[in-house]
């Protein structure tokens, strides 16, 4: 169930009745227009974006997640957890107020929401007594890539055009239907997270967030390549490969082991069909790569094309996935004393 300002939502002051608000898109729009959510969005918008570099991650203990990944972190082992590169994707943060255990996911499709949230909560709600504690929930990303005024208000969150709205709709609807209590604190998505660029295209104000695991404070954030460790390239590849790997249907990608503070990159297989496809993509000029490989061509960061070409170069060099995940075993990385990551398998 969703709570806003400590009160179950919707309440008697909501603009819609329970029967209509409980349907995806109506519920989402009702929550987004709640005065407390609007105020929180305005406050978040005025925060300065924190830029995370390798030196930051060496000074403090960070965990970073890529698209379709999730991680559950313990504040005794991890100082900050975050994500970025979200355009039509959404960063979802759920934190247990009692224990401080924080779960974060980079959601990229309505299809991974149901199982994904269950994965996220697997270590956040460890026993029934924790269920009485309100989970603090933040969402950041998913800009207005379609005019919400023209979106279907009938509750079918699969019908509106664009990518952001159906995903945000599914997220809010799923949280409302679950038995746990979710206190929505930040909903910096869609119209709240939209601006115009120099060419008049809509784009996100912020693409990422960073959470202080001790205090629960959240700020907008961006990361440079060296701070998105470890195993950056292989983890990017898993995003594309997971679509053809049936073992990951409807799931978020396992990345981090909460109890040992190690990255355990669960294996994912890829097919020769994917390798042949990326060979064809690699022949395209930059402008066509944007159109063919992004859900938001006008909103991608300056390193998007370079990242895509690095992925393709790796796949063409290692077309057999078993060379990367030998004996279908995960790739394991331990945090060193100086804050870097060391491969142990």
Q: What is the CATH classification number for the domain harbouring 24?
A: 3.30.1330.200
pLDDT 10s digits, 226-250:
999 999 999 999 998 998 899 999 9
- For 135-157, letters b (16+ CB in 10 Å) and e give bbbbbbbbbbbbebeebbeebeb
345 residues of the chain, pLDDT tens digit each: 999 999 999 865 555 444 443 466 889 999 999 999 999 999 999 999 999 998 887 789 999 999 999 999 999 999 999 999 999 999 999 999 889 999 999 999 999 999 999 999 988 876 555 554 667 899 999 999 875 444 444 444 334 468 999 999 999 999 999 999 999 999 999 999 999 999 899 999 999 999 999 999 999 999 999 999 999 999 999 998 998 899 999 999 999 999 999 999 999 999 999 999 999 999 999 999 999 999 999 999 999 999 999 999 999 999 999 999 999 999 999 999 888 899 997
- How many domains, in total, are found in the chain? 1
Q: Tell me, what's the pLDDT at 143?
A: 95
What does the pLDDT read at residue 126? 64
Strands 7-8 and 2-4, bridge-based pairing: antiparallel
E-state strands within the chain: 2-4, 7-8, 50-52, 62-64, 70-73, 80-83, 90-96, 102-107, 135-143, 182-190, 194-196, 202-204, 209-212, 218-223, 256-257, 262-265, 331-335, 341-343
- 258-299 pLDDT, tens digit per residue, is 999 999 999 999 999 999 999 999 999 999 999 999 999 999
* CA geometry: angle 202, 207, 209, nearest 5 deg: 145
Q: Extract the tokens encoding 4.
A: 């806003």
Q: What is the pLDDT of residue 18?
A: 42
| Helix, coil or strand: residue 183 | strand
Q: Which domain holds residue 69?
A: 2-343
Angstrom CA distances, 231 to 37, 64, 228, stand at: 37, 11, 8
pLDDT of amino acid 129: 54
């Amino acid at each position: 169930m969703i709570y806003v300002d400590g009160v179950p939502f919707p309440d008697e002051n909501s603009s819609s009745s329970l029967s209509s608000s409980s349907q995806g898109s109506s519920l989402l729009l009702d929550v987004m227009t709640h005065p407390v959510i609007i105020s929180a969005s305005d406050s978040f918008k005025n925060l300065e974006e924190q830029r995370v570099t390798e030196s930051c991650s060496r000074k403090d203990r960070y965990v970073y997640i890529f698209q379709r990944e999730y991680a559950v972190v313990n504040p005794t082992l991890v100082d900050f957890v975050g994500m970025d590169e979200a355009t039509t994707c959404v960063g979802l943060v759920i934190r247990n107020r009692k224990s401080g255990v924080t779960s974060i996911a980079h959601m990229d499709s309505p299809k991974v929401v149901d199982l994904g949230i269950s994965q996220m909560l697997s270590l956040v709600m460890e026993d029934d007594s924790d269920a009485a504690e309100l989970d603090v929930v933040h969402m950041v990303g998913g800009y207005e890539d379609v005019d919400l005024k023209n979106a279907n208000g009938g509750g079918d969150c699969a019908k509106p055009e664009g990518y952001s709205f159906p995903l945000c709709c599914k997220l809010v609807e799923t949280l409302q239907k679950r038995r746990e209590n979710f206190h929505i604190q930040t909903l910096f998505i869609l119209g709240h997270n939209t601006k115009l660029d120099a060419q008049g295209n809509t784009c996100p104000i912020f693409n990422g967030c960073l959470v202080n695991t001790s205090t629960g404070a959240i700020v907008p954030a961006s990361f440079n390549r060296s701070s998105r460790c470890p195993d950056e390239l292989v983890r990017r590849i898993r995003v594309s490969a997971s679509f053809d790997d049936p073992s990951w249907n409807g799931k978020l990608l396992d990345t981090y082991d909460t109890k040992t503070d190690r990255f355990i990159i669960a294996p994912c297989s890829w097919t020769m069909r994917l390798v042949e496809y990326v060979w064809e993509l690699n022949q395209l000029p930059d402008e066509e790569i944007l159109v063919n490989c992004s859900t938001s061509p006008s909103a991608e960061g300056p390193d998007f094309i370079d990242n895509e070409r690095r992925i393709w170069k790796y796949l063409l060099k290692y077309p057999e996935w078993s060379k990367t995940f030998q004996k279908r075993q995960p790739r394991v990385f331990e945090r060193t004393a100086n804050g870097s990551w060391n491969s142990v398998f």
